[in-house]
């Protein structure tokens, strides 16, 4: 980490992050090439990416952003949030509300103002908290503000009363569970059990069109790259080192004069907003948001992605999210009922045998290769790479 | 023999503790403790295990709230009203009994983090390593003899080196009052003596309170000694006088 101190922002963000640099390059290529090959390469060609595959990959990108958000607080600051799915879902609902309003009078009940489910409930007026969501810019602000505000209030309460460790994890689970129950209720005005769905278009573009899908995919890739760079900016600043200090020895940070609660609050809020953005990009691609997204198990899965990929590296989180979700897609197709057990097993195995995740393993392998190829001092740099 | 515990003293103090008591589940860890440190003074604190030495530092630094008593910093700030970070930023630095450095940061980063100022979240985010800061870090690295290991993780240092690093972090904070808990633990004799020399030099600019069991070290500090026992001051004075004190011999030195 030492070299990261020197140099301008570009050096800090990119040049010193060898693995991250490769990852960003891959992400950039994927973000550009996948949509292009979907739109321009004729179907049937080997290089054509189907809309189905593109949408699936787009989902992975959103998950990867969510994983980066979690790694930022867990990997660097030791805050084990088991409720980050809630922030993802809130961002998703904010986007969903915009998409519902976009439907306009094309719903089953053809009400120009009210979404179908409200008409069905015999509501006559749009609730106050649905106001403004017909405006895209307003919805985008809410994508950040809704998770950010919840994280802020939660963080002020939890961090100022110094709730840490397992207690914090438990109350974050409780938080997402409480929201799950709340959003299930019809009278909450978020579509209850069914959630929000049957979206038609976004910014006037048909959501079923390949071009729209391609644009959403591209946006997800860019959001992931942006989220990665924001996180990287934070962790390579002195603030990032204070976060590591808090993770390693909270009391030391306090006695050095750092107000630990404000640092935690800051990074928690940033992380919740990244999660919100991920959720907002996820919803138009999958076409639905329902209370199931608040399920406690979802939040636990995110932790597993990060643990599998390798905690405290950011790029590990991206890799973990893609790997585990690819496995999930594959296995839930083949033996659905076993997936949860496999996920649990995966977590146990990683914790026991791969404390630094897949990227740690990779660093280890490289170190072995280097030392067996016999260059003097070759083993040194590899340890530095897999650390934190 | 009884120790005078004046309610008011007529000379300025950097640390004023009067009648401070702390109990844990009825057990009195500090029992109406009174102790005064003058500006620029170095004070050694000795006493058997469980005497309350660490607890005393805890109440000064805002970690533990005393049940009763007064603690003043520079005769004005009531330290019992502030939390750890606030007390630290007022100018009270603390070295822990168990070496406590940030193990996964480098030696350099540990020192950099300790440098005075820039404690807000925003300042930390936009922090830059200015030449002045770099110079200050180099100075401290020289002083604690860790320059050639500055880019290594602090976790890889030996016990003694971690102690030194933590002392270096204290210096970075530029505190007025340094509370140092068992600095010599895990150090070689040579390192111990070097540490004593360093503290003596520091005492001119700072006030120091040093807790230590190592009597050679205390002797090398050559300063006023306070003996704590069962949460109270048992004796106070030059090392000779407290060594000759019958009670001190019984509870501490005679073991
Ligand atoms: N948080 C706590 N809860 C309960 N008892 C405590 C707590 N902190 C300290 N004590 C008790 O208070 C007494 C004083 O402890 P303290 O750590 O201050 O002693 P010390 O003089 O620093 O001893 P040592 O030389 O071993 O470091 C001990 O009996 C200890 O067990
Ligand atoms: Mg102690």
Q: What is the DSSP code string of B41-63?
A: -EEEEE--TTSSHHHHHHHHTTS
Is the shortest distance between the CB of B24 and ligand 1 below 6 Å?
yes
pLDDT at B8: 61
CA dist A41 and A78 (Å) reads 46
Q: State the pLDDT confidence band at A1, using cuts at 50, 70 and 90.
A: very low
CB proximity A161 to B under 8 Å? no
pLDDT at B98: 87
Q: What CATH architecture does domain B15-96+156-253 belong to?
A: 3-Layer(aba) Sandwich (3.40)
Q: How many A from CA of B96 to the centre of ligand 2? A: 9
pLDDT at B10: 76
Q: How many A from CA of B8 to the centre of ligand 1? A: 28
Is the shortest distance between the CB of B29 and ligand 1 below 6 Å?
yes
pLDDT at A339: 86
Length of chain B (residues)? 255
pLDDT at B204: 81
pLDDT tens digits, B176-225: 999 999 998 888 898 899 999 989 988 888 999 999 999 999 999 999 99
CA dist A198 and B162 (Å) reads 62
pLDDT tens digits, A118-130: 999 999 999 999 9
CB proximity A259 to B under 8 Å? yes
CB proximity A383 to B under 8 Å? no
CA dist B15 and B74 (Å) reads 6
CA dist A227 and A31 (Å) reads 14
pLDDT tens digits, B9-28: 778 899 999 999 999 998 99
- DSSP reduced 3-state for A42: coil
Percent of chain B with pLDDT over 90: 77
The DSSP bridge partners found for residue B106 are: B153
DSSP secondary structure letter of residue A375: -
As a whole number, mean pLDDT of residues A178-204 equals 95
Q: How far is A253 from chain B (nearest CA, A)?
A: 8
Q: How many A from CA of B34 to the centre of ligand 1? A: 18
Give the N- to C-terminal CA distance of chain B in Å, as an integer: 21
- Dihedrals φ, ψ of A216, to 5°? -65, -40
Sheet order of strands, B68-73 included: B27-37, B15-24, B68-73, B77-78
Q: Which of A238, A248, A257 sits opposite B85 (nearest CB)?
A: A257
pLDDT tens digits, B111-153: 999 999 999 999 999 998 999 999 999 999 999 999 999 999 9
pLDDT at A7: 61
Percent of chain A with pLDDT over 70: 94
pLDDT at A14: 77
Which of B48, B54, B209, B212 to probe ligand 1 with, by most ligand atoms within 8 A of CB?
A: B54
Nearest residue on chain B to A251, alpha-carbon basis: B84
pLDDT at A387: 39
CA dist A282 and A58 (Å) reads 8
| Burial label, B143 (beta-carbon count in 10 A; 0-12, 13-18, 19+) | middle
pLDDT at A374: 54
Tokens of B205: 């600019």
- pLDDT for residue A388 is more than 70: no
Nearest listed ligand to the Cα of residue B47? 1
Nearest listed ligand to the Cα of residue B228? 1
Q: State the pLDDT confidence band at A6, using cuts at 50, 70 and 90.
A: low
- pLDDT for residue A5 is more than 80: no
pLDDT at A17: 82
Q: Which of B85, B100, B129 sits opposite A258 (nearest CB)?
A: B85
pLDDT at A304: 96
Q: Which of B105, B118, B121 sits opposite A1 (nearest CB)?
A: B105
CB proximity A246 to B under 8 Å? no
Closest by Cα among A218, A209, A211, A196 to A62: A218
User: Residue A379: enclosing H or E segment and its boundaries?
Assistant: none
As a whole number, mean pLDDT of residues A63-72 equals 98
Contact B108 A2 (CB under 8 A): yes
Tokens of A58: 């787009």
Contact B109 A251 (CB under 8 A): no
- pLDDT for residue A384 is more than 90: no
Task: Report ipTM (2 d.p.).
Answer: 0.90
| Burial label, A164 (beta-carbon count in 10 A; 0-12, 13-18, 19+) | middle
pLDDT at A382: 37
CA dist A313 and A322 (Å) reads 15
Q: Are B32 and B154 in contact (CB under 8 A)?
A: no
pTM of full prediction above 0.90:
yes
| Burial label, A93 (beta-carbon count in 10 A; 0-12, 13-18, 19+) | buried
Closest by Cα among B95, B52, B71 to B251: B52
Count of beta carbons in the 10 Å neighbourhood of residue A325: 20
pLDDT tens digits, B29-54: 999 999 999 999 999 999 999 999 99
pLDDT at B7: 54
Q: Which residues contact B73 (CB under 8 A, 6 or more apart)?
A: B14, B15, B16, B79, B87, B90, B91, B92, B177
pLDDT at A332: 84
Contact B88 A256 (CB under 8 A): yes
Query: Which has more pLDDT, B45 or A363?
Result: B45
pLDDT at B187: 85
- DSSP alpha helix (H) spans, B174-245: 189-202, 215-221, 239-244
Q: State the pLDDT confidence band at A334, using cuts at 50, 70 and 90.
A: confident
Q: Which residues contact B229 (CB under 8 A, 6 or more apart)?
A: B47, B48, B51, B247, B251, B252
- DSSP reduced 3-state for A29: helix
Where do we find the tokens 């997402």? Answer: A176
CA dist A68 and A61 (Å) reads 11
Q: Please tell me which of A95-109, A264-278, A360-374, B238-252 the model is most confident about, judged by mean pLDDT.
A: A264-278
Domain ranges for chain B: 15-96+156-253
Contact B109 A5 (CB under 8 A): yes
Q: Which residues contact B226 (CB under 8 A, 6 or more apart)?
A: B35, B43, B44, B45, B46, B233, B235, B236
CB proximity A266 to B under 8 Å? yes
Is the shortest distance between the CB of B84 and ligand 1 below 6 Å?
no
């Amino acid at each position: 980490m030492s070299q990261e101190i020197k140099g301008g922002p570009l050096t800090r963000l990119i040049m010193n992050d060898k693995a991250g640099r490769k990852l960003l390059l891959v992400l950039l290529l994927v973000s550009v090439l996948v949509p292009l090959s979907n739109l321009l390469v004729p179907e049937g060609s080997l290089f054509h990416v189907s809309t189905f595959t593109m949408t699936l990959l787009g989902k992975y990108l959103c998950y990867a952003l969510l994983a980066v958000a979690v790694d930022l607080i867990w990997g660097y600051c030791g805050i084990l949030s088991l409720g980050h799915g809630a922030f993802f879902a809130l961002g998703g609902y904010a986007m969903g509300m915009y998409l519902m309003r976009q439907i306009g009078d094309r719903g089953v009940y053809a009400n120009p103002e009210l979404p179908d489910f409200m008409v069905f409930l015999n509501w006559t007026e749009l609730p106050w908290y649905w106001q403004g969501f017909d405006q895209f810019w307003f919805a985008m602000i809410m994508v950040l503000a809704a998770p950010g505000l919840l994280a802020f209030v939660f963080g002020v309460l939890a961090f100022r009363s110094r709730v840490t460790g397992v207690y914090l994890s438990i109350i974050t689970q409780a938080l997402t569970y409480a929201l799950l129950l709340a959003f299930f209720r019809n009278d909450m005005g978020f579509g209850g059990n069914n959630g929000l769905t049957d979206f038609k278009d976004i910014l006037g573009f048909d959501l079923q069109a390949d071009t729209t899908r391609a644009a959403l995919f591209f946006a997800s890739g860019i959001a992931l790259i942006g989220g990665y760079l924001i996180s990287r900016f934070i962790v390579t600043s002195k603030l990032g080192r204070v976060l590591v200090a808090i993770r390693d020895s909270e009391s030391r940070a306090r006695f050095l004069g750092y107000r630990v609660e404000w640092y935690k609050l800051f990074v928690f809020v940033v992380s919740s907003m990244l999660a919100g953005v991920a959720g907002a990009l996820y919803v138009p691609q999958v076409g639905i948001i329902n209370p199931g997204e608040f399920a406690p198990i979802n939040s636990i899965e995110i932790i597993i992605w990060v643990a599998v990929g390798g905690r405290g590296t950011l790029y590990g989180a991206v890799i973990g999210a893609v790997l585990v979700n690819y496995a999930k897609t594959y296995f839930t197709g083949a033996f659905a009922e076993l997936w949860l057990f496999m996920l649990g097993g995966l977590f146990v195995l990683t914790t026991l045998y791969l404390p630094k995740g897949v990227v740690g393993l990779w660093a280890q392998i490289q170190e072995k290769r280097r030392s067996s190829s016999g260059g003097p001092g070759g083993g040194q740099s590899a340890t530095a790479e897999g650390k934190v | 023999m009884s120790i005078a515990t004046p309610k008011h003293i007529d000379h300025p103090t950097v640390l004023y503790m009067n009648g401070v008591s702390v109990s844990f589940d009825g057990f009195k860890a500090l029992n109406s403790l009174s102790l005064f440190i003058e500006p620029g003074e170095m004070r050694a604190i000795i006493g058997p295990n469980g005497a309350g030495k660490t607890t005393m530092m805890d109440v000064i630094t805002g970690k533990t709230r005393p049940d009763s008593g007064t603690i003043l910093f520079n005769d004005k700030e009531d330290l019992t009203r502030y939390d750890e970070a606030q007390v630290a930023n007022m100018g009270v630095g603390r070295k822990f009994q168990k070496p406590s450095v940030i193990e996964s940061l480098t030696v350099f980063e540990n020192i950099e983090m300790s440098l005075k100022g820039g404690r807000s979240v925003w300042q930390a985010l936009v922090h830059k390593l200015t030449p002045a800061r770099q110079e200050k870090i180099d100075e401290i690295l020289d002083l604690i003899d860790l320059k050639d290991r500055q880019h290594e993780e602090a976790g890889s240092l030996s016990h003694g080196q971690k102690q030194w690093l933590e002392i270096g972090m204290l210096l970075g904070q530029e505190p007025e009052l340094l509370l140092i808990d068992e600095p010599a633990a895990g150090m070689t004799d040579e390192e111990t003596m070097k540490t004593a020399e360093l503290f003596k030099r520091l005492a001119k600019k700072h006030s120091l309170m040093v807790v230590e069991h190592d009597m050679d070290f205390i002797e090398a500090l050559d300063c006023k000694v306070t003996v704590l026992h069962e949460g109270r001051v048992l004796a106070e004075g030059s090392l000779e006088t407290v060594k000759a004190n019958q009670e001190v011999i019984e509870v501490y030195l005679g073991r």
